[in-house]
Structures are given as structure tokens and as C-alpha cells.
Amino acid sequence: MMKLKKVVASLAVSAILSSLAVVGASAADAGVAQRLKTPPTTGIGGGGYTPQTVDKTWDENFGGGSTDDDVFNIRPGYGHVKIHVLNTASTPLKVNLIHRDTQFKYWETTIAANSPGTFESWDDGFAQGMMSGDYTITFSGGNYNVSGTYWGKSADSTGDFAS
């Protein structure tokens, strides 16, 4: 009976150690995949650059063609996002905000000529915040050139935004 208890205990320890080794290997593989991830190469004007990483606020001008885009990164814990777009063109502006890894579309709207538009993640269906990671915001004027500016703010709480 004593020998049976030792065999059972030995098997239990072996199973635990094996599962820890598998979990450790998976975590190591995930770390390698994260380090090897290729950064996005699009940006305003079509030039290749690494997206700006934002903790608090950022702003950019856009224009020059019928479509323009910008790439930015939201850090973990800063998922409450407000984006304000000012369309300075004399034609409507279509805006899309997409999470690059998942292709999830957070915002799609059309802003009238010479008008503002605002996205607030907590009021637009994302009360718990948005995913961290790289985002592309695209400005499209159809057959017309786009022109304007946008600014964004990222925070860990909706209380960080003034009413």
C-alpha cells in the first residue's frame, strides 16, 4: 500500500511539472512572437514610419489627396479615447477608425463640410474602453481632396475628460 501511495504521488508531481513546462513554453513563444511583430508602415502622406505611441494627447493635420490616414498606438490601460475631427474642406469627409490587429471598426462616420465630429469611446458603445494596440484612422473625401485636423486623448478613466 505504501508503494502504491509513492507511485501515485510521483505521478501527480510529474503531471504538475509537465503542465508547468508547457505553460512556460507557451509564454516564451508568445514573447518571441510579440518581439518579432512587424510595425505598421503607413501614415499621413503614405510615408512609412512607426506609429506614434500616445499616453495622453496627440494632434495631426491631414490633407493633400482624396484619402489620408494616420497610425497611432494606444497603450494598455489607456483605452478610454476621445477623438475630435475638424473637416476644413468644402465637401463631406468620411472617417474610419480601425484596430489594426483585429480589423475591428470602432468608428465610421461622415462629417459635413467645414464641420467638426467627435468620437468618445465610452459614449459610442465601449464603456470598458478600447483594445490596446495600433490603430489606423482614415480620412476619405471620395472624389475630392480632404483637409482638416484631428486630435485625440487617451486616458485610464473617463473622469480624465472635461465635459
Say if residue 107 is in the same domain as residue 57. Answer: yes
User: What DSSP string runs through 37-95?
Assistant: PPPP---GGG---PPEEESSEEEEEEESSSEEEEEEEEPTT--EEEEEEEE-SSS-EEE
CATH code at position 62: 2.60.120.380
Say if residue 72 is in the same domain as residue 25. Answer: no
Say if residue 54 is in the same domain as residue 4. Answer: no
Q: Give me the mean pLDDT over the 70-81 stretch.
A: 91
Say if residue 86 is in the same domain as residue 58. Answer: yes
> What's the structural domain count of the chain?
2
Say if residue 23 is in the same domain as residue 51. Answer: no
Mean pLDDT of the chain: 77
Say if residue 60 is in the same domain as residue 20. Answer: no
Say if residue 98 is in the same domain as residue 125. Answer: yes
80 pLDDT more than 80: yes
Per-residue pLDDT tens for 19-68?
Answer: 444 444 443 333 322 322 333 334 444 444 455 544 578 899 999 899 99
Domain of 26? 1-37
9-23, 56-70, 72-86, 145-159, range with the lowest pLDDT: 9-23
141 pLDDT more than 90: yes
- pTM for the complete prediction? 0.66
